[in-house]
C-alpha cells in the first residue's frame, strides 16, 4: 500500500529511473543467481506488484517465468514495484530488470498477484509506465494485460477494471496456451477472441462478473521448480521447490482448504532429483514450499536428502501436530538450520480452534515448543488469528495464559492477524470485527503478556481494506484507483470507501455475484 500524499495521477512522470542500471546490470539482480538474459522476436514482461524482496520469494512467479522462457521465439523479462514508489515516492516509468526495456514496449504484460492490496500497486505500475490502468482506456497499441496468481483463488472481481484477461487458479498448464499465442505473434484482439473459449480464463469486459471456476492441475506438475535465488529476496539465497500443493484439511477460514484444493504430492525421487539440478546445487539453501508441506508423507526423507547435499533449508508451513511427538523431524529441522520454530495456532483458544476446524490442540503447540527447546532452538513463534466469529474475552484470556506458559519454557513471539472473511470459504459471510474492538483486544493481549512475549500484529485498519476488497465487486476498482490517486494512505482509503458506500447499499457484492451465478458455492466446494 502506497503511503504518499502526492496526487499520483497528476504527478508528472519522473524521468529518473528508479530501477537504475549500473554497469549494464540492475543492482537488484546484480547478485542474483539464475538470471536469464534472453532476447527473442517476441518479448513479454512478467510483473510483480510489490518489491523485488517479495517477488523473489514467490515460487509461483518463478514458475511462470521459467515456463515463459521455455521457447526460443519468446523471451520473458521481469519488473517489480520499486521500493521507493511503494513508499509513496514519485512515479517512475517502469523498465525490465534484465534490459531496462520500458513496460509499454512489450507485446504483453503479465502480473502475478498474491494479495488484495497489491491490486492498487498493479494499477500504479501501469500508470507509472504511461499506460491507462483501466482496461477500457487502453487501445489496440497497448500491450495486453494478463493477470494470475494466488489471489485468483479468492475474489478477483476488483481486478476486473484493470485486467484484459485473468487466468483463474493454477496456471501451470494454462501458461503454455499464452506462450503459444505469444510465439505465434497473436495481436491483442486475436488473444482476446481466443481467450473467450478457454476454460478458466476470465475476460471481465466479456464475462462481466460471471467468473469461471479455478483451474487446477494434477500432481504431475510437481515438484514445481524455482528459477533464481538471491541474497536480496526475503528468503535469502534460497532456491524454492514446491513439494506439495493444496491441503488435506478443512479449516473454515482458509481458501486452501481441502474441498477447494485437495492435496497433491510429488514422488520423493522426483524431488530428490530436483535437488541435483545445477541450479539447486548452486544454492546454499532450499525452500520446500506447500500449504501443508509438513503433511507430505516423505518430507523427512527429502530433508535428509537436502542435508546430505550440504543444504540448509526452510519449510513454508509446519503443523504443530506433526512435530510434537516426532523427535526425528525436529532434529532434522535443527540440522537444516532452524533456530526458530514457527507454527500456527490460528485461533486464540481451543474452543475457537474447534469451531474453525483447525485440528490443532494446545498439547500439540506445547509439545512443539518443548521439542524446539529440546534441540536448542532460540525462539518459538506462533501465528494467531483474532476477531473470529463468536470470539469472546475468555478466548483472548486463554491465549494470554497459554503464551505465558509457553514463555516459561522458551522465548516466545506471537503475530496476531485480524480475521478477514474470504470468498469460497464457509466463513465468506462472517462479519469483520470492528477495528476498535480489535484494537481493544490487542491492548488486552499486550497488557496481559507484560513484555514477556514479543507481540506483533498486522494492522486492523489495513485488514479492513483487505476485507472490503475481498468482498468487493468490479466497481471496487474505482475505489482502488481513487485511493491510490489520493496517495494510498489509510485516510485516502477511508474517504474512497465513504464515497462508495454513499452510492451503494451492499458491502459484499462479491458474495452476491457468487450466489447469483452459482459458480462457486460459498462453502468452497467445487
With DSSP H G I counted as helix, E B as strand and the rest as coil, what are the percentages for the chain, rounded to 5? 40, 15, 45
Residue 346 vs 398, nearer CB to ligand SF4: 346
Cell output for 265: 504430492
CB of 249 to ligand SF4, least distance (A): 4
CB of 519 to ligand SF4, least distance (A): 21
Q: Which residues of 226-255 are buried (b: 16+ CB within 10 A; e: fewer)?
A: bbbbbebbebebbbbbbbbbbbebebbbbb
Residue 254 vs 513, nearer CB to ligand SF4: 254
Strand partners, 264: 245
Residue 92 vs 249, nearer CB to ligand SF4: 249
Cα separation, 452 vs 118, whole angstroms:
34
For β-strands 238-242 and 285-289, DSSP reports them as parallel
Q: How far apart are the first and last CA of the chain?
A: 32
CB of 317 to ligand SF4, least distance (A): 6
Residue 145 vs 261, nearer CB to ligand SF4: 261
Residue 251 vs 455, nearer CB to ligand SF4: 251
CB of 485 to ligand SF4, least distance (A): 35
CB of 355 to ligand SF4, least distance (A): 13
CB of 251 to ligand SF4, least distance (A): 3
Cα separation, 235 vs 58, whole angstroms:
9
CB of 219 to ligand SF4, least distance (A): 17
Residue 272 vs 292, nearer CB to ligand SF4: 292
Residue 256 vs 484, nearer CB to ligand SF4: 256
Cis peptide preceding 390, ω within 30 of 0: no
3-state secondary structure of 268: helix
Residue 291 vs 427, nearer CB to ligand SF4: 291
Residue 291 vs 388, nearer CB to ligand SF4: 291
Cα separation, 146 vs 157, whole angstroms:
14
Cα separation, 269 vs 475, whole angstroms:
48
CB of 372 to ligand SF4, least distance (A): 20
CB of 323 to ligand SF4, least distance (A): 14
Residue 206 vs 250, nearer CB to ligand SF4: 250
DSSP string over 420-485: ---TTSTTTTSPPPPHHHHHHHHHHHHHHHTTSSEEEE--HHHHHHHHHHHT--TTHHHHHHHHHH
DSSP string over 171-233: -TTHHHHHHHHHHHT--HHHHHHHHTTSTTEE-HHHHTT-PPPPB---GGG-SEE---B-TTS
Q: Give the distance from CA 347 to its chain's centroid.
A: 21
| Residue ranges in contact with ligand SF4 by CB under 6 A | 247, 249, 251, 254, 256-257, 291-292
Q: CB-side exposure of 173: number of CA atoms within 13 Å? A: 12
Cα separation, 392 vs 380, whole angstroms:
25
CB of 356 to ligand SF4, least distance (A): 8
Give the single-character DSSP code of 237: T
Strand partners, 241: 225, 288
Task: Identify whether the C-beta of residue 137 lies closer than 8 Å to the C-beta of residue 111.
Answer: no
Pick from 256, 250, 239, 65: which is nearest to 150 by CA?
256
Residue 247 vs 430, nearer CB to ligand SF4: 247
CB of 292 to ligand SF4, least distance (A): 5
Amino acid at each position: 500500500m502506497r503511503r504518499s500524499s502526492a496526487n499520483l495521477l497528476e504527478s508528472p512522470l519522473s524521468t529518473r529511473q528508479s530501477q537504475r542500471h549500473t554497469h549494464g546490470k540492475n543492482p537488484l539482480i546484480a547478485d542474483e543467481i539464475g538470471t536469464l538474459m534472453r532476447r527473442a522476436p517476441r518479448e513479454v514482461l512478467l510483473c510483480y506488484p510489490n518489491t523485488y524482496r517479495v517477488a523473489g520469494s514467490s515460487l509461483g512467479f518463478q514458475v511462470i517465468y521459467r515456463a515463459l522462457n521455455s521457447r526460443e521465439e519468446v523471451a520473458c523479462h521481469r519488473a517489480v514495484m520499486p521500493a521507493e514508489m511503494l513508499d509513496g515516492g514519485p512515479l517512475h516509468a517502469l523498465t525490465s530488470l534484465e534490459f531496462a526495456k520500458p513496460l509499454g514496449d512489450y507485446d504483453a504484460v503479465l502480473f502475478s498477484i498474491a494479495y488484495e492490496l497489491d491490486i492498487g500497486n498493479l494499477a500504479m505500475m501501469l500508470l507509472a509506465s504511461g499506460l491507462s490502468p483501466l482496461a477500457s482506456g487502453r487501445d489496440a497499441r497497448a500491450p495486453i494485460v494478463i493477470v494470475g496468481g494466488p489471489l485468483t483463488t479468492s475474489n478477483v472481481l476488483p481486478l476486473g477494471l484493470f485486467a484484459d484477461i485473468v487466468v483463474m487458479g493454477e496456471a501451470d498448464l494454462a501458461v503454455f496456451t499464452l506462450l503459444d499465442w505469444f510465439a505465434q505473434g497473436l495481436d491483442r484482439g486475436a488473444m482476446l477472441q481466443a481467450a473467450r473459449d478457454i476454460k478458466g480464463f476470465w475476460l471481465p469486459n466479456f464475462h462481466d462478473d460471471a467468473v469461471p471456476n479455478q483451474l487446477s492441475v494434477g500432481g504431475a506438475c510437481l515438484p514445481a521448480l524455482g528459477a533464481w535465488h538471491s541474497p536480496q529476496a526475503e528468503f535469502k539465497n534460497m532456491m524454492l521447490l514446491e513439494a506439495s500443493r493444496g491441503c488435506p484439511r478443512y479449516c473454515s477460514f482458509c481458501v486452501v482448504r481441502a474441498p477447494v484444493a485437495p492435496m497433491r504430492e510429488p514422488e520423493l525421487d522426483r524431488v530428490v532429483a530436483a535437488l541435483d539440478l545445477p541450479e539447486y546445487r548452486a544454492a546454499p539453501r532450499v525452500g520446500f514450499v506447500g500449504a501443508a508441506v509438513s503433511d507430505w508423507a516423505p518430507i523427512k526423507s527429502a530433508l535428509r536428502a537436502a542435508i546430505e547435499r550440504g543444504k540448509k533449508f526452510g519449510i513454508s508451513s509446519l503443523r504443530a501436530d506433526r512435530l510434537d511427538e516426532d523427535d526425528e523431524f525436529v532434529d532434522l529441522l535443527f540440522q537444516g538450520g532452524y533456530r526458530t520454530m514457527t507454527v500456527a495456532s490460528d485461533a486464540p483458544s481451543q474452543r475457537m480452534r474447534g469451531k474453525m476446524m483447525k485440528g490443532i490442540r494446545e498439547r500439540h503447540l506445547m509439545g512443539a515448543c518443548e521439542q524446539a527447546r529440546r534441540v536448542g532452538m532460540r525462539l518459538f513463534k506462533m501465528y494467531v488469528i483474532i476477531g473470529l466469529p463468536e470470539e469472546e474475552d475468555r478466548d483472548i484470556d486463554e491465549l494470554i495464559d497459554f503464551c505465558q506458559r509457553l514463555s516459561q519454557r522458551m522465548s516466545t513471539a506471537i503475530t496476531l492477524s485480524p480475521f478477514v472473511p474470504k470468498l469460497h470459504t464457509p466463513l465468506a459471510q462472517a462479519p469483520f470485527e470492528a477495528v476498535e474492538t480489535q484494537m481493544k483486544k490487542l491492548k488486552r493481549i499486550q497488557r496481559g503478556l507484560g513484555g514477556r512475549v514479543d507481540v506483533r500484529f498486522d494492522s486492523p485498519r489495513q485488514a479492513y481494506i483487505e476485507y472490503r476488497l475481498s468482498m468487493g465487486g468490479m466497481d471496487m476498482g474505482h475505489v482502488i484507483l481513487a485511493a491510490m490517486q489520493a496517495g494510498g494512505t489509510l485516510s485516502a482509503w477511508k474517504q474512497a470507501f465513504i464515497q462508495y458506500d454513499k452510492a451503494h447499499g451492499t458491502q459484499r457484492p462479491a458474495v452476491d455475484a457468487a450466489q447469483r451465478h452459482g459458480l462457486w458455492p460459498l462453502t468452497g466446494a467445487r
